[in-house]
Structure 1
Amino acid sequence: MRLLVLRSLTAGLLVAVLVHSVVWCFDAQRPVMQPINALLLIAAAICGIPADRVTAAAEGRRQALRAMAHDLARSSILLGEARDLAARPKPGQIYPRLRLAALDAAVFMNALHKHRDQDILQRALDVQNMAFELNRRLEITEVRLCTAENIQRTEIDYLAASAVSPDGPFARTAAALTGLREAVDAALRPRAWWSRSATSGPA
């Protein structure tokens, strides 16, 4: 809504400058015409500066959300591959890791709006924590499978059970990724201009 107001005000002032310039051509003898024209130009420039800043912030937010969506889709595939491998563990097995570079950048570089995207930011932090914990579990599992000479069958069975458990780390991480992906997709959908009055952040 703020961007719409700034753009409308800037456009209105520029139109006023154009109209005033035309009038000035037919009434060039009046000394007051020049300062009025200059004031209108200055006002249009002042309104245009924050409009450009808001536009740049909105574009940066959209790019961050698109990068997050790509990252989350890739991470979901990697999670599925790791889960399939964990369901059939064997010595020497290597697991793919979740990579969330765009997610980390969006959270720590303030690319998102702290009020408008509060739900996304909270979900992103939850996904970060879960991904870190899952990657740590996978690393420990790799070490056990690759270095332990006589790994117990109970350990292998436990890993396989955790991979398919509805309350296991794979299932929880998958649910968190899905929830964040849905929130990001919803934020990327274009909104009607009248619905933007509910928020004051960049469009």
Structure 2
Amino acid sequence: MPSAQRSRALPVLLLLLSATALHVTGAPCSSPGGDTLEISGDELPDALKTSASTKWKPLTYLLICEVNSLCDQFVEEFGVPKDSVSDFKPDQLELPRDCSSPNFSKENYLLRISRGLERHMVYLQFVERECSKPGKVSHIRLRTKALADHVMELMNNSKRAQGLNSEVRDQLLSNLNEATAWQKKITVPVLLRDYRTFLENTLRALRCIEDRARKKNGPNA
């Protein structure tokens, strides 16, 4: 393997090894819709042997459960209602629920996911400041960045997925930073719930893209 590929694969390998250590026996994670996500070591492939088309699976599963766990911990620690309502409305990018349309565009689909992940990385900066254990949020941010990188690998023209500039990041955080201390606390679960929903939509969307590619290229693709 060329040195450049090894250098790109190493951070992903470390993330997946840490994920294996956390979930080797299986960690059930219930979704708002009642579905259960169960992660085991078998679902965390060797990052040095997998392509971008499969790297996203273990990371997305792991992120969903970690975000859910962080939300629960924050609610318990600060006594904030888990179903709290905040005046802050996340700048959510909706993902199409169906990719079977003849007008479906893989590039636009992936671009929406990439932009959404970029925005949630900004919101996680705010969450990190409000948490008593910011290290956990830092890990989620790193894994979110890794997932965003994988999404870019799947794109034909990854240059379209430009990172957010400082002006956009400041705008996303402006209302959050101006809130009162209590408003900030009740906004954290809102942001985490919103991110979990986005990750679940991302998981569905990437599966849809994978299924389309398999049908197009044949069962042995």
Check whether TM > 0.5. Answer: no
- Which protein has greater RCO, CA pairs closer than 8 Å, 6+ apart? 1
TM range (shorter): 0.3 to 0.5
TM-score by length of 2: 0.34
